[in-house]
Amino acid sequence: MREPMPKNPVNDGVRLRPMVAADLLAAHTLSDELRWPHRLADWEQAFAHARGVVAERDGEIVGTALCWPRGEHHATIGLVIVRPAYQGQRIGQRLMSALLDQLQDRVVLLHATAEGRGLYERLGFARIGELRQHQGIAAPAPLVALQPLWRLRPAGASDADALKQLDRQARGMPRDALIDQLLATAQACVVLDHDAQPRGFGILRRFGRGHVIGPVVAPDMEGAKALIAHLVGMNAGHFTRIDIDADSGLAEWLEGLGLPRVDAPTTMLRGAALEAPVDAPRLFAIVTQAIG
Ligand SMILES: CC(C)(COP(=O)(O)OP(=O)(O)OC[C@H]1O[C@@H](n2cnc3c(N)ncnc32)[C@H](O)[C@@H]1OP(=O)(O)O)[C@@H](O)C(=O)NCCC(=O)NCCS
């Protein structure tokens, strides 16, 4: 049985301060302790456009929480971690409150583990959906046939603006710096054209135990399958992860590609619903659970 948690743990020696790059090694040790797959390079990439807060006790980092402001009105929160020995002392709540104070009235999106969900609900987040995390050794993927006028091609430098716009419409918030960062570091970016106009794209990149496919933005499921099959095929025989929207209709198909489901986090939002134009493309796979 858990010990009862003090209502207001005061003077417990825990101090919050802004996270700095020099904290990344300790933050990585923290995620290792939870057996999260992040490499130090994944923390560095996540921190590049983030604001973070750490909880320290006796000079040791015992908690982290990061946020990514997007445009003027949105943000995502992730990498919320409290060292197991320190959990249940409202450190998670203090870290989250510090970030939410900075974000003021921005609409905030996050993906919650089962452990985090209660904390986020108490802070005003509501469930808006679910993810399905699929991963495994990718099998060679049969190519998905496209209708006339549709084709796949590698992205070029001149595509960046179009891909940012597709991502913005699909995610419901602008993420230009993130897309630039992903394009600069990705192993592959494939564009889905219709009549020579970009209508979707997918990215394959190094992350965690192997490679991740995401984001995947497409107008429909067939387009998403064509993009994913191409990227899975490039990574056949290697560890591949993809975090899809639970309503995407892709789960069973991914299992057939050697990528079984391993987790099902909850998508949560604080504030007004994310807006998308009627004919907006869809975000079939996210970037990471932290970043959204
Ligand atoms: C989720 C997490 C960050 C919460 O941090 P925390 O400091 O433990 O959070 P708080 O103390 O503010 O509150 C958390 C819960 O602990 C419960 N609790 C009470 N007494 C407790 C005790 N003695 N020990 C552990 N938990 C206790 C609280 O009731 C609350 O439960 P609820 O959320 O189910 O209602 C932390 O559990 C964690 O790092 N988990 C692993 C990583 C993770 O899943 N992160 C979330 C990513 S979205």
Arithmetic mean of pLDDT over the chain: 95
Closest approach atom of ligand 1 to CA 290: 48
Closest approach atom of ligand 1 to CA 83: 39
For residue range 48-60, list pLDDT tens digits in order. 999 999 999 999 9
If pLDDT is split at 50, 70 and 90, which confidence band does 1 have? very low
Q: How far apart are CA 72 and CA 199, in angstroms?
A: 26
Query: Would the pLDDT of 149 be above 60?
Result: yes
Residue minimizing CA distance to atom 42 of ligand 1: 81
Q: Which residues, 6 or more positions from 20, have their beta carbon under 8 angstroms from its beta carbon?
A: none
Ligand 1 contacts (CB < 6 A) are 2-3, 5, 34, 80-82, 87-93, 112-113, 115-116, 118-119
Query: Would the pLDDT of 179 be above 90?
Result: yes
Give the pLDDT confidence score for residue 67 in this predicted structure.
98
CA of 205 to the centre of ligand 1 (A): 31
Give the pLDDT confidence score for residue 10 in this predicted structure.
61
Tell me the average pLDDT across 117-132.
98
| Nearest residue to 2 (alpha-carbon basis) of 76, 108, 84 | 84
Query: Would the pLDDT of 184 be above 90?
Result: yes
Give the pLDDT confidence score for residue 276 in this predicted structure.
85
Give the pLDDT confidence score for residue 168 in this predicted structure.
97
CA of 118 to the centre of ligand 1 (A): 8
Q: How far apart are CA 182 and CA 287, in angstroms?
A: 9
Residue minimizing CA distance to atom 25 of ligand 1: 88
Query: Would the pLDDT of 43 be above 80?
Result: yes
Report the residue count for the chain: 292
Helix residue spans in 71-175 (DSSP H): 91-103, 114-122, 160-171
| Nearest residue to 284 (alpha-carbon basis) of 170, 164, 205 | 170
| DSSP 8-state secondary structure symbol assigned to residue 228 | H
Tokens, residue 209: 């135990």
Query: Would the pLDDT of 128 be above 90?
Result: yes
> Nearest 10 degrees: CA dihedral of 246, 249, 254, 260?
40
Q: How far apart are CA 1 and CA 157, in angstroms?
A: 57
Closest approach atom of ligand 1 to CA 110: 48
201-222 CB burial, b ≥16 within 10 A, e <16: bbbbbebeebbbbbbbbbbeee
Task: Examine residue 84 and say whether the peptide bond preceding it is cis (omega within 30 degrees of 0).
Answer: no
For residue range 150-168, list pLDDT tens digits in order. 999 999 999 999 999 999 9
Closest approach atom of ligand 1 to CA 91: 7
Q: How many CA atoms lie within 13 A of 187 on its CB side?
A: 15
Residue minimizing CA distance to atom 12 of ligand 1: 90
CA of 92 to the centre of ligand 1 (A): 6
CA of 267 to the centre of ligand 1 (A): 18
Question: Best substitution site from 29, 119, 267, 286 to test ligand 1's pocket, by max atoms within 8 Å of Cβ?
Answer: 119
Tell me the average pLDDT across 105-129.
98
Query: Would the pLDDT of 3 be above 50?
Result: no
Query: Would the pLDDT of 219 be above 50?
Result: yes
